[in-house]
Structure formats: C-alpha cells, structure tokens
Amino acid sequence: MTITNEKKHSSVLPMAIVAVLFFILGFATWLNGSLMPYLKQILQLSPFQASLIIFSFYIAVTFTALPSAWVIRKVGYKNGMALGMGVMMVAGLLFIPAAKTQIFALFLLAQLIMGTGQTLLQTAVNPYVVRIGPEESAAARVSVMGILNKGAGVVAPMVFTALILSNFTGTVGTELTQVKIDEMANGLVLPYLGMAVFIGLLALAVKKSPLPELIQEDKESRGEGQLKAALSVPSLFLGVIALFFYVAVEVIAGDTIGTFALSLGIENYAVMTSYTMICMVLGYTLGIITIPRFISQPTALTISAILGILLTVLIIFGDSTSFVIANALLVPFGGAQLPDTLILIAFLGLANAIVWPAVWPLALSGLGLLTSTGSALLIMGIAGGAFGPLFWGLASGTSLGQQGAYVVMLPCYIFILFYAVKGHKMKSWK
C-alpha cells in the first residue's frame, strides 16, 4: 500500500489524526472494564451475565473482520474510518434507550454494534501507522500508537468514575431500591450522548480532512488456496492461537478486575481497569527500551508467559483481606489501600504488554506473499477477548468463586510459553 498523493506532504497532521483515532479506539474498548461491574450492579446480573457485556463487544471481530476488509476495498480507507466512527456513534446513541428501559438485551446489542464499528475503524486506520511516515521509523510510530491506546485505558475508567460513579456513593454492598436503580441507569444517558456526539463530529472531521488515501499495490490472490496455505504454516497457525489466548487474558485482567473489586466491596470499582492499564503502559515502555537492544522477542515472550503463570497462581491462592502490596507501593504515595489480589490482577498488565508486539513478527516471519492473509488471521485472534471473560464468568458461578475463576488464565499462559519456546520455530508439522 502507498499514499496516492504524488507530492510529499508533511506527516504531522495525518499522524495527529491517526493518534486521536487510536486514543478513541482505546477509550471505547477499555470503558468496558467500568461498564461491566456498573451494569452488574444496577441490573443485578450474575458474573456470567455480566461477562456477556464483554463477549458481545469482542465477538463482533469474529463476524465483521473480513466484511470490514471488503467495505474498505469498496469505499477507501479514509471513508472507512469515518464509517466506522459513524457505526460507533449509533452504538453510543443506543445506550440511551437501553438505560431508559434497563433492558439487558439492548445493552448487549449496543455493545455488539460498538464492536462492529471498532473493527471497521481498526481495519481502516492500522495501515496508516506504517504508511504516513518514513518506513525506517514505522516501529516507533507503532509503539506510540500502542501507548496511546493503552493510555486511553488509563483515562477511560477515571472519566467513567468522575462522570457517573461519583454521583452514586455508598451503593456498594447495599440492596438498591428501584428509584436508585433508575437514577444510576439514567446516569449513563448524558455521558454516552456526549460520546456519541463527539465521535460523530470526529467522523465528519476525518471525512473532510486532508488525510491521504491509500491504494493496494500487491495483487496477490486472497482465495481459499492462500488461506489453506497460510494455515498450513505451524508458526502462523500456532501464533493465531497464541494471540487468541493472549487477548483472552488481557481482557480478563483489564475488564473483570472491576467486577471482582465490586464483589470485595470496593467503592471505586469502576476505576480498577486504570491500574491494569498503567501496568500495561509501563510494560510497553520497558519493551520499547529493552527489545531487541537487551533481550530478543522470543526471550521477552518467554518472560511474559512465566510472569503471567506466577501471577495467576498468586491471584488464585492470594488473600483478599491482605493489603501488604498496597501498603508498600500505593499508600505511602497517597494511593488507595487495595487487597493484594486486586493489585496482582493489575500486575498482569506487565505480563501481557509485550505479548502482542512479540507474537506478530514471530508468526509472520518468512510468510512472503502469504503475509497479508496471515495478518488477517492474526487480527481474528482478537476474538479471544469475547471468550476469556465468558469462561471466567462461567467459572465464577461454580465453587471456585470469582477469585478461583482466574484459573482459566493458566492454560492460556502455558500455551503462550509453549509458543515462545518452541511453537514460533516450527515451519513444518513433521
């Protein structure tokens, strides 16, 4: 793909536009970590029902990734961005009747449409990161966009807490009256209306912006033959599974921490996702500094998987009445006194940060003309975000409880460890 404009335009404005879009993508994605426990509280949902809020958002990737690519080929990348945000705006507006009627199915539909808009926007905006500037600095731009995306995950729960949850203190651990439920549900209306209007205006701005169009240069076949050929490469096939499991644990760590905090009686449960995202940004930054200068990508992936396994075991067997970690790391600096288990879940952000940027190059290595098909398959691995919280929610309903349910992450990290040590080296099934 190349930019169609013959003249060399400054990449500052396109870079700024793309940066805003990546922030919006992160904001809308990680808002789920606050929305999930909030809706669980006001709609009195079980952990499994609450997990459907995340499932309906991420499952959209499975069904709309390939259709989104078709739409982009028809309307172009810039129009695709605007269209994706238009779909997200519709989803934001749908939250208004959902809040007014308190019908759970409407919330799920709004989440499904939001996920669809996100998938279309991601399909359109990602190529720009590589193509709006010099090829030799593309990796730096990818890193900046990743930090923006995760940085939005820090901000989104704080905004949610400030605009919505701060108006309803003292509700955790109490039986809500219908009047209070109505008030809390209506508290979603203005923020989501504001978000929908903002995204709609941004869509118009992108549509009218001087953002250069991209054209597809390679004419490689994308038929069933190529798909079969790509899937026959073990390092790619196993890489898709590794990404599926990675997104599953990433979303569990980011989006269930608030629900678990609610079960522990934490008043500011909606802000808990920010803790996980801060750790992810820190991990991302460490990765930029150390890879490949000090450690290789496979080594970084191995360390991440081992850290994930250790943290998962500590979470499962941890003491939710102990505050040792918070007293050492947070309280002396004016932070909140949180149970050790919550802090350990947040620490999973450190384990998860490097996995995505490490798996991609390892999975695509040596694919040649199959690279674009391999990339599309890896993108579909995002569907793991739909199933991770779902299995956590199912396990929470058993004798394991919400804390023990984090055991579902263990096989995920073990497979990632296998891929880091052996899977990425496999070029043949023999």
Collapsed DSSP state (helix, strand, coil) of residue 199: helix
237 and 189 part of one domain: no
Q: What pLDDT is stored for residue 370 in this prediction?
A: 72
Q: What pLDDT is stored for residue 214 in this prediction?
A: 62
Number of domains comprising the chain: 2
Contact indicator for 423, 242 with CB cutoff of 8 Å: yes
DSSP-assigned states of every residue in 251-316:
HHHHHSHHHHHHHTT-TTGGGHHHHHHHHHHHHHHHHHHHTTTTS-HHHHHHHHHHHHHHHHHHHH
Domain range for 88: 10-213
Q: Tell me if 195 is assigned to some domain.
A: yes
Domain stop point among 156, 187, 213: 213
Domain stop point among 165, 194, 213: 213
Q: 2 - beta bridge partners?
A: 215
What is the spatial distance between Cα 349 and Cα 47, in angstroms, rounded to a whole number? 22
DSSP-assigned states of every residue in 349-403:
HHHHHTHHHHHHHHHHTT-GGGHHHHHHHHHHGGGHHHHHHHHHHHHHTSTTHHH
What is the spatial distance between Cα 92 and Cα 200, in angstroms, rounded to a whole number? 10
Q: What pLDDT is stored for residue 411 in this prediction?
A: 96
Collapsed DSSP state (helix, strand, coil) of residue 36: helix
Residue 121 belongs to domain with CATH number: 1.20.1250.20
199 and 234 part of one domain: no
20 and 164 part of one domain: yes
Domain stop point among 181, 213, 245: 213
| pLDDT tens for each residue of 272-293 | 988 998 998 888 888 878 877 7
Residue 423 region, left (φ>0) first, then alpha (ψ -120 to 50), else beta?
alpha
207 and 344 part of one domain: no
What is the spatial distance between Cα 303 and Cα 285, in angstroms, rounded to a whole number? 16
Q: Which amino acid is at 250?
A: E
Q: What pLDDT is stored for residue 130 in this prediction?
A: 59
Q: What pLDDT is stored for residue 216 in this prediction?
A: 52
Q: Tell me if 284 is assigned to some domain.
A: yes
Q: Tell me if 5 is assigned to some domain.
A: no
162 and 241 part of one domain: no
Q: Tell me if 4 is assigned to some domain.
A: no
259 and 361 part of one domain: yes
What is the spatial distance between Cα 423 and Cα 242, in angstroms, rounded to a whole number? 9
Q: Tell me if 430 is assigned to some domain.
A: no
Compute how many other C-beta atoms are within 10 angstroms of the C-beta atom of residue 151. Answer: 20
Tokens of 331: 């309280």
What is the spatial distance between Cα 387 and Cα 366, in angstroms, rounded to a whole number? 30
What is the spatial distance between Cα 275 and Cα 98, in angstroms, rounded to a whole number? 29
What is the spatial distance between Cα 148 and Cα 248, in angstroms, rounded to a whole number? 21
What is the spatial distance between Cα 97 and Cα 229, in angstroms, rounded to a whole number? 47
What is the spatial distance between Cα 338 and Cα 64, in angstroms, rounded to a whole number? 39
Q: What is the largest CA-CA distance in the chain?
A: 65
Q: Tell me if 3 is assigned to some domain.
A: no
Q: What pLDDT is stored for residue 18 in this prediction?
A: 83
| Local confidence pLDDT in tens for the 430 residues of the chain | 444 444 445 567 777 888 888 888 888 888 888 888 889 989 999 888 998 999 999 898 778 877 887 888 788 888 888 999 999 999 999 999 999 999 999 999 999 999 999 888 887 887 666 566 665 555 566 667 778 888 888 898 888 888 887 777 777 767 888 888 899 999 999 999 999 999 999 999 888 887 776 655 444 444 556 777 777 888 889 999 999 999 999 999 988 998 999 889 888 888 898 899 899 888 888 887 887 778 888 888 999 999 999 999 999 999 999 999 999 998 998 888 899 999 999 999 999 988 887 887 888 777 777 776 777 788 788 889 889 999 999 999 899 999 999 999 999 999 999 999 998 888 777 7
What is the spatial distance between Cα 235 and Cα 363, in angstroms, rounded to a whole number? 5
151 and 273 part of one domain: no
Q: Tell me if 181 is assigned to some domain.
A: yes
365 and 412 part of one domain: yes
Please state the separation of Cα 99 from the chain's center in Å: 24
Contact indicator for 59, 115 with CB cutoff of 8 Å: yes
Q: Tell me if 121 is assigned to some domain.
A: yes
What is the spatial distance between Cα 199 and Cα 193, in angstroms, rounded to a whole number? 10
Distance (Å) of CA 186 to CA 167, 280, 373: 11, 32, 45
Q: What pLDDT is stored for residue 176 in this prediction?
A: 80
324 and 366 part of one domain: yes
What is the spatial distance between Cα 39 and Cα 181, in angstroms, rounded to a whole number? 10
170 and 129 part of one domain: yes
| pLDDT tens for each residue of 343-394 | 999 999 999 988 887 887 888 777 777 776 777 788 788 889 889 999 999 9
208 and 226 part of one domain: no
Q: What pLDDT is stored for residue 4 in this prediction?
A: 47
Tokens of 374: 């391999």
Residues in the chain: 430
231 and 85 part of one domain: no
